[in-house]
C-alpha cells in the first residue's frame, strides 16, 4: 500500500495567507479530500465521520486546544443536524484521556445529535497503566457509544459500518502504550464478515500503513500504523471497502490494495470532520470545518509552538491542504 503522491507529505514551508485560513473556517463550504471508485451503493448514503474530538472538561491549551473541544464537538453536532446524513461515525479519542467527567461531557453533547451514531475507542479512551485517574473499561464504552460489543456491524442506508477496537487488546499488550493493534479474533471476524457486505466502511482509530512512504524532513511519520498492519491490509484487500481512521491529526489518503482516509482531527488544526458520500459513482470524502477563522489560526499557532512534533504535523497538514484532493480515482 502506498500514499498517493508521496511529495504531498514532504515539507513545503506552506504558510496559508489569511484568505486561505478563512477557507478553513465554519463559514466555508466543504472541501473535497478524496474521490474513490469504491465502495458504491445504488442509493446515496452519507455518513458524518468525526475523529479525535478529545473533549476535555478541565484542561486548557496544548496543540489540541482543549479549551475549545466541547465547543467544537457541539458545533459539529449542530452542523450534522442541519445536513441530510444517514449516520455518524466517531473514529476514536472522544475524550482527552478517558476521565469519567469527559465521557459524561461527550454523552451530554451527543444527546443533541438527531442522527444515529456509532463509535470506536481511541488510545485516549481506554484504561492505561500510566494514568493516575479512573478510566471506564471498554465494556462501558461499548454500552454508551457502540451498538454492540467490538467488533460490530451497523447498517446506515446502503453502507455497512464495521467497527474495530484497535485501542486495547485482550492480552493487555496495549495497556502501557498509545500504539494500536487489531486482535486475531477481530481479524477473523472481519475476514468472514466482509464477503457478506456490498459496500463496507471499516473503522478503527489507528491508521493503516502508507504514511511512512513520505515522512517529514526529520525522518519520521507522525504515527506508526496499527500493529500487524499487513494482516489488516490482507483482510481488507480484494473487497470494495473503505478504511477510515483518526489518530494522526492530519488528513491523508492511502491507496493501492486498500483504500483509506485518515480523517482530520476535530480538536486540532484544521478542526474539521468528514462527510463520506457513497453512491452509484463511488465515494466522495469532504472536509467540513467547525471553527471560525480566528479559531483556525489559534489552533495552527498552538500546534506550531507546542512541540517539535506538533509543529511538524501542522506543517504536514498545511502541505496536504495545499494539494487537494489527496486521491482522485474519478
222 pLDDT band (50/70/90 cuts)? low
At residue 91, φ and ψ (nearest 5 deg) are -95, 35
Of the two residues 1 and 116, the one the predictor is more confident about is: 116
Sign of the alpha-carbon torsion through 1, 272, 120, 196: negative
Cell numbers describing residue 258: 486498500
257 pLDDT band (50/70/90 cuts)? confident
N-terminal to C-terminal alpha carbon distance within the chain: 19
pLDDT above 90: residue 92 = yes
CA geometry: angle 260, 266, 267, nearest 5 deg: 130
pLDDT above 80: residue 151 = yes
DSSP assignment letter at 252: E
Q: Is 275 helix (H, G, I), strand (E, B) or coil?
A: strand
Whether residue 4 contacts residue 53, with contact meaning beta carbons closer than 8 Å, is answered with no
Which of these ranges, 22-36, 79-93, 148-162, has the smallest mean pLDDT?
A: 22-36
| Domains of the chain, start order | 2-328 (3.60.21.10)
Q: Is the pTM of this model over 0.85?
A: yes
27 pLDDT band (50/70/90 cuts)? low
**What rounded mean pLDDT belongs to the chain?**
89
Q: Model confidence over 120-131: pLDDT tens digits?
A: 999 999 999 998
Q: Is 298 exposed, middle or buried (0-12, 13-18, 19+ CB in 10 A)?
A: middle
Amino acid at each position: 500500500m502506498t500514499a498517493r503522491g508521496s511529495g504531498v507529505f514532504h515539507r513545503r514551508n506552506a504558510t496559508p495567507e489569511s484568505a486561505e485560513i478563512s477557507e478553513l473556517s465554519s463559514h466555508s463550504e466543504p472541501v473535497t479530500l478524496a474521490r474513490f471508485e469504491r465502495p458504491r451503493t445504488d442509493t446515496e448514503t452519507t455518513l458524518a465521520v468525526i475523529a479525535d474530538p478529545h473533549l476535555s472538561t478541565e484542561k486548557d491549551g496544548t496543540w489540541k486546544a482543549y479549551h475549545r473541544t466541547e465547543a467544537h464537538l457541539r458545533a459539529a453536532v449542530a452542523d450534522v443536524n442541519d445536513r441530510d446524513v444517514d449516520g455518524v461515525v466517531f473514529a476514536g479519542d472522544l475524550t482527552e484521556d478517558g476521565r469519567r467527567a469527559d465521557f459524561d461531557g461527550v454523552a451530554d453533547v451527543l444527546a443533541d445529535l438527531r442522527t444515529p451514531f456509532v463509535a470506536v475507542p481511541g488510545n485516549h479512551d481506554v484504561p492505561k497503566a500510566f494514568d493516575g485517574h479512573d478510566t471506564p473499561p471498554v465494556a462501558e464504552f461499548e454500552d454508551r457509544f457502540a451498538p454492540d460489543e467490538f467488533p460490530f456491524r451497523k447498517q446506515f442506508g446502503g453502507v455497512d459500518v464495521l467497527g474495530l477496537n484497535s485501542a486495547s487488546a485482550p492480552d493487555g499488550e496495549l495497556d502501557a502504550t498509545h500504539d494500536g493493534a487489531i486482535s486475531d479474533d477481530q481479524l477473523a471476524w472481519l475476514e468472514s464478515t466482509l464477503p457478506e457486505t456490498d459496500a463496507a466502511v471499516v473503522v478503527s482509530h489507528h491508521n493503516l500503513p502508507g504514511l511512512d512512504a513520505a515522512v517529514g524532513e526529520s525522518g519520521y511519520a507522525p504515527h506508526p500504523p496499527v500493529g500487524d498492519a499487513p494482516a489488516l491490509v490482507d483482510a481488507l484487500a480484494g473487497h470494495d471497502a473503505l478504511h477510515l481512521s483518526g489518530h494522526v491529526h492530519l488528513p491523508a489518503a492511502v491507496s493501492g490494495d486498500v483504500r483509506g482516509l485518515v480523517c482530520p482531527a476535530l480538536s486540532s488544526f484544521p478542526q474539521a470532520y468528514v462527510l463520506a458520500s457513497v453512491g452509484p459513482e463511488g465515494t466522495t470524502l469532504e472536509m467540513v470545518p467547525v471553527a471560525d477563522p480566528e479559531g483556525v489560526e489559534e489552533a495552527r499557532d498552538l500546534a506550531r509552538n507546542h512541540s517539535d512534533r506538533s509543529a511538524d504535523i501542522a506543517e504536514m497538514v498545511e502541505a496536504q491542504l495545499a494539494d487537494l484532493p489527496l486521491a482522485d480515482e474519478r
